[in-house]
């Protein structure tokens, strides 16, 4: 029989001492994902437009992204986050709404960085279409 190799759950009720953190926003065409970590990289809170209650095509709207960020920011403030560095990835419609929502939630934005991956030429293109 195999041993129980399940890890014990971490105590997530700890407060952030420095009051600083990082927010990673991934804006895809179908959803917006938000993760807030401490400065080391340990996840404190996360959320998405889907987790905020939106389904289908409404998940991919700026309003859904704003709602998701507001929920995450509220929980982050309870953990002691006061200022964040925002890293935005992806081409989705929730990019601008996410930044505005952080500002309206009362969290200081120390830095905004676009970390969308851009290929440096990428793979070989498929052959040209002949009509």
What is the distance between the terminal CA atoms of the chain, rounded to a whole angstrom?
63
Which domains occur in the chain, in start order?
A: 20-114 (3.30.420.80)
Cβ count near 4 (within 10 Å): 5
pTM: 0.81
Tens of pLDDT, residue by residue over 82-131, are 999 999 999 999 899 999 999 999 999 999 999 999 989 999 989 999 98
Tens of pLDDT, residue by residue over 1-27, are 566 777 666 665 667 778 899 999 999
Separation of CA 69 from chain center:
8
């Amino acid at each position: 029989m195999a041993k129980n190799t399940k890890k014990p759950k971490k105590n997530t009720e700890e407060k952030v001492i420095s009051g600083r953190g990082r927010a990673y926003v991934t804006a895809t065409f179908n959803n917006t994902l938000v993760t807030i970590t401490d400065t080391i990289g340990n996840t404190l809170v996360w959320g998405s437009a889907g987790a905020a209650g939106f389904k289908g095509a409404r998940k991919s709207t700026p309003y859904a992204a704003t709602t998701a960020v507001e929920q995450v920011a509220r929980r982050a403030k309870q953990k002691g986050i006061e200022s964040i560095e925002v890293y935005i990835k992806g081409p989705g419609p929730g990019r601008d709404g996410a930044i505005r929502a952080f500002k309206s939630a009362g969290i200081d934005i120390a830095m905004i960085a676009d970390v969308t991956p851009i290929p440096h030429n990428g793979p070989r293109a498929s052959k040209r279409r002949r009509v």
